[in-house]
Amino acid sequence: MLSKRIIACLDVRDGKVVKGVNFEGLRDAGDPATLARRYNAEGIDEVVILDVTATIEDRQARAHTIAAVANEIFLPLTVGGGIRNEGDAAAAIEAGADKVSLNTAALDDPGLITTLAKKYGSQAVIVAIDAKRDGHGFAVYARSGQALTSRSAIEWATQATGMGAGEILLTSIDRDGTKGGFDCELTAAVSDAVNIPVIASGGAGTFEHFAEVFTSGHADAALAASIFHFNEKSVSDLKQFLAKQDIPVRK
Amino acid sequence: MIALIDYGAGNLASVRKALAAIGASVWTPLVAGEIGRAHGIIVPGVGHFNTTRSLCDDWRKAIQTMADDGVPLLGICVGLQWLFDGSDEAPDAKGLSTFKGTCFPFTQHVSGRLKVPHVGWNSLVMPRPSRLMAGVKDGTQVYFTHSYAAPVVDDTAAICEYGVPFSAAVERANVSAVQFHPEKSGDAGLRVLSNWYSDAV
């Protein structure tokens, strides 16, 4: 049976892992390679490196951080943040990424999804969507949550899928870093609208939150950062908890 | 030395890294004539079956000759599919036909809430003993990412199921292949690569 994936996110700035709340107020959480090694030992299924400031400060995700993390794990590694064009994607993949995550660049030029999917295969192209509740719907934001776009999350996820995205990484801006639980309504709405895997992100605080997003949220994978970084919770304990709830996980 | 065939089918960095971790030396031959000195050959691959067209007649002949001579050959992902007759994904692109059957899209079989591509960790069942899967227990999970799959055949060494059973690993004499990514499947994946590599040295 296909397992629900637990993904650790390393938000990196200046070579260090940082984490904020609602995309702001970053605090230092340590060295990316050291954290990756720990998560690997604890049984994480996948690792994502997001250069949280790259788009804003016009800087690429750093190749040496990617290589340092890649050297610690024999697991799928995704790199996002500042992947603006084919060259940025090629640099990340050459440095050791298996997948790239597009956000603002895909909003500016959806054709980039197709270009990269043709070059590397859809499995290598994740479209990251930062969404925020807006009345009864979910609005998409660009530039690390700073710029409101005219798109709705469901409409954009559907379009991105059609253009060749292999997975959707869906972050709730409202929940990011709050530990108040994933936005299951948002996740289910997007997951039901597309036929590709959806990774839920933003709000993980307890083991129950993961169980909720895998059941009522229809998520295929769940991504978390702060809950793991500061040694609050271990990946292995989380997996034991989920297995007891009959949620399929990798042992 | 292991020849890692680069036919433009995406990222080889993680395969190289995993081979280094098990102590294998690897090079990427530039022309088909170079592979004569290989102790083992790996045909990797991600993405579309059509990319295997880049393995033109020179490469096909060279790889086939080496395989006929008993040199260990390992296909990974699309590399496994290429060792079958072909794939519905690109009907005009012919496989090597070491294993009989045509790869099919999951969309033919899966329904309801199953998504395509099949991405993530799924469990294996071994229908028979094989050198490739030695020491890997039933229920072991490995990482997959693919939309097409190879049928279960007599040479199948590991079966996975996603709406439909398919070949997760095949082995016949010195030719073997895996649909999953051993280079991204943690300790279980390294074990499979080591098993294969021990035949090549």
Tell me whether B190 touches chain A (CB under 8 Å). yes
Closest partner CB to A96 (pick from B14, B122, B189): B14
- Number of CB pairs < 8 Å for A and B? 97
Q: How many domains does chain B divide into?
A: 1
The pLDDT tens digits for B120-175 are: 999 999 999 999 999 999 999 999 999 999 999 999 999 999 999 999 999 999 99
> Least CA distance to A71: which residue of chain B?
B17
* Residues A2-40 pLDDT 10s: 999 999 999 888 888 887 655 566 667 788 999 999 999
Q: Give every CB contact of residue A127 below 8 A, 6+ residues apart in sequence.
A: A101, A102, A103, A106, A113, A157, A160, A165, A167, A168, A169
Task: Among B115-119, B133-137, B183-187, name the one with the lowest average pLDDT.
Answer: B115-119
Per the structure, the complete domain to which residue B164 belongs is given by 2-200
Query: Is A130 one of the catalytic residues?
Result: yes
Alpha-carbon distance A212 to A245, whole Å?
10
User: Does residue B181 have an active-site annotation?
Assistant: yes
B157-187 b/e (C-beta count within 10 Å ≥ 16 → b): bbbbebbebbbbbbbbebbbbbbbbbbbbbe
| Residue B154's CATH number | 3.40.50.880
The Cα–Cα gap between B32 and B20 comes to: 23
Minimal Cβ distance to A74: which of B116, B123, B189 = B189
Rounded (10°) angle between helices A235-244 and A207-215: 50
- What pLDDT is stored for residue A121 in this prediction? 85
Is B39 among the residues known to form the active site?
no
Indicate the domain borders of chain A: 5-244
Contact criterion met (CB below 8 Å) for A31 and A24: no
Q: Which pLDDT score, from 0 to 100, does residue A96 have?
A: 87
Q: Do B46 and A40 touch (CB under 8 A)?
A: no
**pTM: predicted TM-score of the whole model, two decimal places:** 0.93
Per residue in B44-84, pLDDT (tens digit) is 987 778 888 888 889 999 999 999 999 999 999 999 999 99
Report d(CA A96, CA B173) in Å as an integer: 33
CB atoms A75 and B145 under 8 Å: no
Q: Kindly tell me if the per-residue pLDDT of A54 is higher than 70.
A: no
B146 vs A75: CB contact, 8 Å cut-off? no
Q: What number is the ipTM of this complex?
A: 0.90
Nearest-CB residue to A76 (from B13, B47, B184): B184
Q: Tell me, yes or no, if B8 comes closer than 8 A to chain A by beta carbon.
A: no
CATH 3.20.20.70 describes domain A5-244: yes
